[in-house]
Structure 1
Amino acid sequence: MDLEEFKLTIPCRDSQLDLLDSYASLGNLLRILIVHGINSGKQFILNNYFNLLKESKDEQVNIVNFDCSAVISLRSFYEKTLQKIVEVNGNNDEQAGFCDSSNKFMIKLENIIQTHNITKLHYLIFEDFGSLGDFTDLLQLIFGLNKVMETSSIIKDKFVLVILLNNYNLYYTSDNLGELNNYSLPTIFFQNYTQNEVFHILTDSITSSYLIHHHCKFEEKTTVTTNKNSDNCNRLNPEQQQFWEDFVKLVIDSFHSFTGSNVTVLVELILKIWPTFTKKIFVDKTYNFNDLLRLYKENQSLFKGESVVNDSFIDEPTETNRKVMKSIMRHNKSVIDLPVYSKFVLCAAYLASFIAPKYDFVIFSRLKELSSRKKYHQKIASSKGQGAINTRLLNPAAFELERMLAILSSIYGNTEEEILFSKPGKHPKISFNVEFYSQFSNLVSLNLITKASAATNTANLDLLNGKLKFKANFNYDFIEQIAKDLNFKIEEYLMD
């Protein structure tokens, strides 16, 4: 498959693919490539492009994908990167060893190249690089890696670093882009899809073809039609095609203000809504494809309220997940494979469940006069009175999502020891977007956080209206182990 054929599978990204192909054609003359943009599909596109590149140059190229979201320190970043390179080159037993600086990283990587006789050009793709810290710290790391590439002729002949900044759009602030330009570092910007482009992707591309023929099937055999823009990918008759386009437009119009241009989330919503929405057509056979308006009126609850949360963003925990988490909590295991961000979410959920809302300002305020934990406890004790029993320490209380987010903003990065670039008391930038809700959904599906809505009429609940509540579903021993992994002293936030 050449580039032009590849473009047919990736709509609305021709200019980015042209740039990417131009940079890749430079080979080892390219040292570092910065790819940025928020919820723009860049990681999917890059992975597919480099897989295509490897197929066309199998004897000359190696692709190394490294997920930065599981990294909690600078030392861990360097060591795990080296370990990944060693594993890709065929030695899973060899350990990369201690490495906590760019100079040591350069020396060790040179040794690995010489020891393993590496001759292929390696594209080292750092996924979710933005999770490593705030942008100032990321720039320092990027410049450090660039210095390694400039200094070592051995490394720059064998490696190209591709950095994906998932949480940053550098064009929002020209200063950030200017600093990169000072170092002559090439960048590719994946702007957000427009609403029309999202519609095109979901109705007239290989994505829509996959949905229609593997998940949202119309019937066993569909009439073949030729759609010039989709390369014959949609095999629907005109009536079916119109129904599909109208349905997709309903989903986009209903959820675009929340999902933005995140195609992955919209696809998930389509997969959740489709079976129920089309039941009277394919199962009951009482409606046909011309009855979309009637179907919408009868299924309006699918497009709003709590059903959106239940069926799309928060999957109910399975029995297997329940058993796994019960086993982990029973044996007090600390080997839970969760991202650092998710562990902080668990800490915030526990604090929200076991601390009364009226103490939030006293405990979580960042005012200088309230910086001492001792003062926190004194204020709580004096306001609570002598001899009172805090039942919240016995049973978790339900909390609103907004309150937990506020607590998370306060505690995230507030540790006694250094986590990656964050020094004690320094709070890295966080954002509550679709990625946060995805991680929150995973915690709910693992039954670590459970829904506890106080409303009786669940049909009208909405994620954003404050009625939906949650609570922590784990004990103190469990969260204490999580907090230790983060070097986060959670006990200082709780009453004695």
Structure 2
Amino acid sequence: MSTLCDRLLTKFPGRNDQIERLLSLLGEPEDPAPPCVFVYGPSATGKTSVIRDLFSLYDTSGSHYAYINSVECFTTRLLFERTLNAWAGHVPCAENRFSNYAKCDNLVDFVNTVRDLLVSSGKQHEAHYMVIDQAERLRDRGPMLLTSLLRLPELTGGANISVVLISNVVWDKFRPRHGGAADPLSIFFPYYTKQQILQVLAKDCPSDEPQPFFLTFVDAVYEVFHRNCVDLNELRHLVAMLYPKFVQPVFEHQATRNEFARLFKLCQPYFAAASERLYLREISTSEWQKYSAVASAKNNPEDVATSIYHMAENSDGMDLPHYTKFLLISAYLASYNPSRLDVQYFARGKDPSQKRKRKGGGASAAASEDALGGKDRQQLLGPKSFAIERMLAIFYSVIAEPVDSTVDVQTQIASLITLRLLTKTSAGDRLDGIKCKCNVSLDAIRAISRSVRFEIDRFLYNFT
């Protein structure tokens, strides 16, 4: 067990307490397993990687634990049958016509099959583990499923079974309301500290590069991006994309490795572009590599900056679903257009340019605001907060065709917030009156509008 612990601690720096706690709960294969272990914490904190590597080393046969991803196993039948296949050592293939070990349509079938597989065959004392990733999705599988999983040893007649739940959500958010089962043992995976991030990313250092120099660069990337990016996977991606550009002047004899300040200055346009284009996924990784290679071939730093800032100018917009693009366009219009002009711009059936000519009040207001000078133009003032209800009203006005009833608009708005294309400005605990800002540049929104053949310039106030 000590060798297993050492291997895991070496591979996963910064997770010593969690690994030691997990191993102490598992014990030896013949020891009684805890009925349920709940592993939780923010995304990109090593939960799934640690658990999977731990069980692959703990159970080399692979027949005593089953790893289930709730996204793949989106029904209880798939969850049960995948578990039985792993515990029985059964692999669906052409020889068995890709059949499963047993057919389980419901919980009763699963419990009876587990009882036959483990208890009747004398394996009830051997520990078997069901590892369920993204366990918060179990809340949508019926009120009794989670309670039944927590009581599997009791339901199966004393089998040594443990359920390991992995989630980004705290236990209080999906504890069964009706009770019936004890709370699991919890293990929390917090965000990595700066020192732990440096230890993890040190493993990504290229073999032909000096590690102290590489870690100095990683430290600089962390300082630039950590306020907006705490996700280790995102930082890892940014380091992989930016380091070749950072070290390139060394091979071109423009600077030495000891001139870190000069190297950082030469790479500064790439840092700015990465924060605006790469991190927000306005361009893909392949596009970044292509356009940054063109930019790095230029000697004039201003030409490099100009080239790198316009990486996405020839693209057809972000790779977003059709309705999501219109939602983002509506958010941009809500952020930059005064709310008092919504009726003038978005009333159905009339051209906005004609309405501007006919509405004397709107024209005089526009003229008076233009007289204040160019410093008051909307794009220079930055995005304003808007209510989600106002954005939806604009969305249903600007989209040409009726919205399909199967489209979940609220989920797409949540995705835009997750992608940081929208920034939530209202309090996090508010359930009504949610307000956001649009976090997209004018060039990007024009590219998105072109991809859906929407003339956004006709609907933008005071942008000329």
Is contact 2:136-2:174 (8 Å) kept?
no
Q: Normalising by the residue count of structure 2, what TM-score does the alignment of the two structures yield? A: 0.58
Q: Secondary structure at the match of 2:132?
A: strand
Q: C-alpha separation between the residues in 1 aligned to 2:37 and 2:238?
A: 33
Identify the residue that residue 52 of structure 1 maps to in structure 2.
Answer: 57
Q: C-alpha separation between the residues in 2 aligned to 1:209 and 1:49?
A: 19
Quick check: 1:384 aligned with 2:348? yes
Quick check: 1:211 aligned with 2:205? yes
Number of residue pairs aligned between Structure 1 and Structure 2 = 345
Superposition CA RMSD, Å: 5.2
Match of 1:471 among 442, 448, 459: 448
Quick check: 1:124 aligned with 2:130? yes
Deviation at 1:402, TM superposition (A): 11
Q: Secondary structure at the match of 1:286?
A: coil
Identify the residue that residue 67 of structure 2 maps to in structure 1.
Answer: 65
Structure 2 counterparts to residues 389-468 of structure 1, below 5 A: 436-437=418-419, 464=439, 466-467=441-442, 468=444
Identify the residue that residue 90 of structure 1 maps to in structure 2.
Answer: 90
Question: Higher RCO, 1 or 2 (CA under 8 Å, sep at least 6)?
Answer: 1
Q: Secondary structure at the match of 1:11?
A: coil
Identify the residue that residue 43 of structure 1 maps to in structure 2.
Answer: 48
Structure 2 counterparts to residues 41-440 of structure 1, below 5 A: 41-55=46-60, 58=61, 61-71=63-73, 76-88=74-86, 89-92=89-92, 93-95=98-100, 97=103, 99=105, 101-110=106-115, 121-133=127-139, 141-153=145-157, 156-157=159-160, 159-165=161-167, 167-170=168-171, 183-202=182-201, 208-213=202-207, 217-218=208-209, 240-260=210-230, 262-281=231-250, 283-304=251-272, 306-308=273-275, 310-311=277-278, 314=281, 316=284, 346=321, 348-349=323-324, 351-352=326-327, 383-385=347-349, 436-437=418-419
Q: Secondary structure at the match of 1:257?
A: coil
Is contact 1:82-1:109 (8 Å) kept?
no
Identify the residue that residue 9 of structure 1 maps to in structure 2.
Answer: 11
Is contact 1:65-1:124 (8 Å) kept?
yes
Distance 1:127 1:309, change over 3 A: farther
Q: Normalising by the residue count of structure 1, what TM-score does the alignment of the two structures yield? A: 0.55
Deviation at 1:69, TM superposition (A): 2.1
Deviation at 1:47, TM superposition (A): 1.3
Is contact 2:131-2:164 (8 Å) kept?
yes
Q: C-alpha separation between the residues in 2 aligned to 1:138 and 1:191?
A: 30
Deviation at 1:245, TM superposition (A): 2.5
Could you tell me which amino acid in structure 2 is paired with residue 294 of structure 1?
R
Q: Secondary structure at the match of 2:254?
A: coil
Q: C-alpha separation between the residues in 2 aligned to 1:402 and 1:98?
A: 54
Q: C-alpha separation between the residues in 1 aligned to 2:7 and 2:144?
A: 38
Query: CA offsets per residue over residues 2-56 of structure 1, 9 Å max, x none?
Result: 313431222121111111001111655322211000121111111111111123x
Q: Secondary structure at the match of 1:2?
A: helix
Could you tell me which amino acid in structure 1 is paired with residue 239 of structure 2?
I
Query: CA offsets per residue over residues 323-368 of structure 1, 9 Å max, x none?
Result: xxxxxxxxxxxxxxxxxxxxxx7364155379798799xxxxxxxx
Is contact 1:133-1:428 (8 Å) kept?
no
Distance 1:122 1:148, change over 3 A: closer
Q: C-alpha separation between the residues in 2 aligned to 1:313 and 1:358?
A: 19
Deviation at 1:130, TM superposition (A): 2.6
Could you tell me which amino acid in structure 1 is paired with residue 81 of structure 2?
Q
Q: C-alpha separation between the residues in 2 aligned to 1:54 and 1:274?
A: 38
Could you tell me which amino acid in structure 2 is paired with residue 149 of structure 1?
P
Q: C-alpha separation between the residues in 1 aligned to 2:118 and 2:449?
A: 48
Is contact 1:68-1:131 (8 Å) kept?
yes
Distance 1:277 1:194, change over 3 A: same
Deviation at 1:293, TM superposition (A): 0.4
Q: C-alpha separation between the residues in 2 aligned to 1:471 and 1:181?
A: 51
Could you tell me which amino acid in structure 2 is paired with residue 209 of structure 1?
K
Query: CA offsets per residue over residues 50-74 of structure 1, 9 Å max, x none?
Result: 111123xx3x853322111245xxx
Unaligned runs of 5+ in 2: 93-97, 288-319, 336-342, 353-382, 396-403, 423-437, 453-464
Is contact 2:139-2:174 (8 Å) kept?
no
Q: C-alpha separation between the residues in 1 aligned to 2:329 and 2:204?
A: 46
Query: CA offsets per residue over residues 255-283 of structure 1, 9 Å max, x none?
Result: 111221x32221111110011110011x2
Is contact 2:18-2:187 (8 Å) kept?
yes
Deviation at 1:284, TM superposition (A): 0.9
Unaligned runs of 5+ in 1: 203-207, 219-239, 320-344, 361-378, 389-400, 418-423, 441-462, 476-496
Could you tell me which amino acid in structure 2 is paired with residue 94 of structure 1?
S
Distance 1:425 1:12, change over 3 A: closer
Distance 1:29 1:6, change over 3 A: closer
Q: Secondary structure at the match of 1:125?
A: strand
Distance 1:98 1:152, change over 3 A: closer
Is contact 2:147-2:181 (8 Å) kept?
no
Could you tell me which amino acid in structure 2 is paired with residue 2 of structure 1?
L
Deviation at 1:181, TM superposition (A): 12
Q: C-alpha separation between the residues in 1 aligned to 2:384 and 2:123?
A: 51
Identify the residue that residue 302 of structure 2 maps to in structure 1.
Answer: none
Higher-Rg member (1/2): 2
